[in-house]
């Protein structure tokens, strides 16, 4: 089975297993979801250059990113609420990533806390941070991450406020449901007995592990979005990166860069790396696909920053295309969220093995034996 077919199958299983509220949170994008679709379509439009007679008997996918050894140039991107897709979902995903020789990045809005996920693996995950108004709370979070051995901080900057995600409005994720709407949502959850027994009842406690003091109950995510709108800092500027640096001595990766000038600003502000990302099409609709923005950004910062990319990566072919266009590694989100929702950590492990095999095959058939040598010459 190809990885795109596998991901599609897992998506279908996740749709049947999860309450609509949670499925739409994974699956949906902003506005008309043009950018959500474009992220995938742009990868499909890129043409690889097939080469022959190149001695591809030894293919090396191993790389190092911010001192982290990776068996292939892939990291599990931060995906919020993952602990509601599978029982203690973030722990299951982190274990699958570690078993595959890669790492994961834990979302600020995870169900499992940094401490819980860190205790479940031998190598602590990266941590993704949003800028909130309460700097004391942020400082405490960063202190917890430091003390737990978190190696890399991924600072997400493209969510000063949530994008207009119409699917989430209709499902009630962002609040505003009538009494009848709440009854309908509860009925929908009751029609998913497997999820209800395994995750909702068996996966407790359902709290936002890293925000438990601020938002203690994750069973009604709409309450969380009320908190987000009140507490996410819309006044943040590049000057605030100095505050983050003051509280974080390790590598800082700025996630959410789609413009060359913003990439240069991130470099000038002292960031160590960046993620070319449109938040999976979940923020501003109508912007280019991440991979379309990648080449110019990678060229603008050169070797002064480590450039990563996410958005629309569904196969090993996509990984090779991203490397050829200037990325050091790829972050994948929905590609692991669907398998987690469908089959837990087993599904994530299966997806990662398929991704590895597809990447090896794509490398071999383009005549490239080492991911460090992947460049524009792999493309038509």
Active site (catalytic) residues? 279
Round to whole Å and give the CA distance between 203 and 197: 9
Round to whole Å and give the CA distance between 94 and 330: 16
Residue 86, phi then psi, degrees to nearest 5: -145, 160
Tokens of 25: 């949170």
DSSP helix/strand/coil, 304: helix
Instruction: End-to-end CA distance of the chain: give it in Å, rounded.
Output: 26
Round to whole Å and give the CA distance between 154 and 152: 6
Number of other CB atoms surrounding residue 54 within 10 Å: 12
- The answer to whether 102 and 75 have CB atoms below 8 angstroms apart is yes
Round to whole Å and give the CA distance between 173 and 72: 35
Exposure letters 290-303 (e unless 16+ CB within 10 A, then b) = bbbbbeebbebbee
DSSP for 12-33 reads HHHHHHS-HHHHHHHH--STT-
Exposure letters 194-224 (e unless 16+ CB within 10 A, then b) = ebeeebbeebeebbbbbbeeebeebebbbeb
How many alpha carbons fall within 13 Å on the CB side of residue 51? Answer: 16
Q: Is the peptide bond before 280 cis (omega within 30 degrees of 0)?
A: no
Round to whole Å and give the CA distance between 62 and 57: 16
- The answer to whether 53 and 205 have CB atoms below 8 angstroms apart is no
């Amino acid at each position: 089975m190809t990885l795109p077919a596998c991901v599609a199958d897992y998506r279908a299983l996740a749709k049947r297993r999860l309450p609509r509220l949670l499925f739409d949170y994974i699956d949906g994008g902003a506005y008309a979801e043009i950018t959500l679709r474009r992220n995938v379509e742009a990868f499909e439009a890129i043409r690889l250059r097939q080469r022959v007679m190149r001695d591809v008997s030894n293919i090396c996918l191993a790389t190092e990113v911010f001192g982290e050894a990776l068996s292939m140039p892939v990291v599990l991107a931060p995906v919020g609420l993952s602990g509601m897709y599978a029982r203690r979902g973030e722990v299951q995903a982190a274990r699958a990533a570690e078993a595959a020789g890669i790492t994961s990045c834990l979302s600020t809005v995870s169900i499992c806390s940094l401490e819980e996920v860190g205790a479940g693996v031998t190598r602590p995950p990266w941590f993704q941070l949003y800028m909130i108004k309460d700097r004391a709370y942020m400082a405490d979070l960063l202190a917890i991450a430091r003390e737990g051995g978190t190696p890399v901080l991924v600072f997400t900057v493209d969510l000063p406020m949530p994008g207009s995600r119409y699917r989430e409005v209709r499902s009630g994720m962002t609040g505003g449901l009538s009494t009848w709407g709440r009854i309908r949502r509860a009925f929908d959850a009751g029609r998913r007995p497997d999820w209800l027994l395994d995750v909702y009842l068996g996966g407790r406690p359902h709290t936002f592990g890293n925000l438990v003091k601020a938002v203690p109950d994750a069973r009604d995510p709409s309450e969380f979005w009320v908190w987000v709108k009140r507490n996410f800092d819309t006044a943040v500027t590049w000057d605030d990166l100095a505050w983050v640096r003051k509280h974080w001595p390790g590598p800082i990766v700025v996630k959410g860069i789609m413009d060359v000038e913003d990439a240069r600003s991130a470099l000038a502000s002292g960031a160590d790396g960046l993620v070319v990302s449109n938040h999976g099409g979940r923020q501003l609709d109508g912007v280019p696909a991440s991979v379309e923005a990648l080449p110019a950004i990678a060229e603008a910062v050169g070797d002064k920053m480590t450039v990563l990319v996410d958005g629309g990566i569904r196969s090993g072919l996509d990984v090779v295309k991203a490397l050829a266009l200037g990325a050091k590694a790829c972050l994948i989100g929905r590609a692991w969220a669907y398998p987690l929702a469908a089959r837990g950590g087993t599904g994530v492990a299966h997806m990662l093995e398929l991704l590895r095999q597809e990447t090896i095959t794509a490398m071999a058939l383009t005549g490239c034996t080492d991911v460090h040598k992947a460049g524009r010459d792999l493309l038509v």
